[in-house]
Amino acid sequence: MQEFIDQLPRLAKDKHNENKKFFARLKKKTPKRLDHIMQELHENEFERTDCLTCANCCKTTGPLFTDKDVERISKFFKIKPQKFEEQYLRRDEEGDLVLQQVPCTFLGADNYCSIYEVRPKACHEFPHTDRKKFQQISHLTLKNVAICPAAYNIVEKMKTAL
């Protein structure tokens, strides 16, 4: 698995133009059952994929934190939201709240998340391959295939299925 994870950025780069064209076609003419197909591909892939053997998303990128995420997680830690932000987050170039550092502060050596029950919405939904109106987030998927082996596999299978 680690070998595939290490190759993922190069594989994604090699497929970038192909994937970009594919997603452009999807936006122009969305298949009627795309959400259903994506849900099925997502479920099938995650029956085979164990995120705990990978955790590449947590090791290489950080999620966006919404105000609701900050409220929920700070409550979990029994600290004020402002204190949570000061301790763990920063504002990026676009003004979004993100982690001060990667890998994620909450990721353990065993790839378990110490705040899993209250993790940010972005983490909960990652890699977003089962999202409704999937074709609208193709820009995000193009990034995620370079990070997540499951997302890469799902997109490759989706190109074959469609």
pLDDT tens, position by position, 129-151: 998 888 888 889 999 999 999 99
Q: At what angle do helices 34-48 and 149-161 cross, to 10 degrees?
A: 140
Q: How far is CA 17 from CA 27, 37, 58, 133, in A?
A: 15, 23, 26, 21
pLDDT over 90 (residue 85): yes
Q: What is the pLDDT of residue 102?
A: 96
CA distance 120 to 98: 11
Please list the residues that pair with 90 across neighbouring strands.
98
Phi first, then psi, for residue 77 (nearest 5°) are -85, -5
pLDDT over 90 (residue 33): no
Describe the strand order of the beta sheet including 89-91 as a list of residue ranges: 64-65, 97-99, 89-91
* pLDDT 10s digits, 92-124: 999 999 999 999 999 999 999 999 999 999 999
The kind and range of the H/E element at 140 are helix 138-144
CA 76 to chain centre: 23
pTM above 0.85, yes or no: yes
pLDDT over 90 (residue 29): no
Q: What is the rounded average pLDDT of the residues 60-69?
A: 96
Radius of gyration from C-alpha coordinates of the chain: 17
Q: What is the pLDDT of residue 91?
A: 96
Q: What is the pLDDT of residue 8?
A: 94
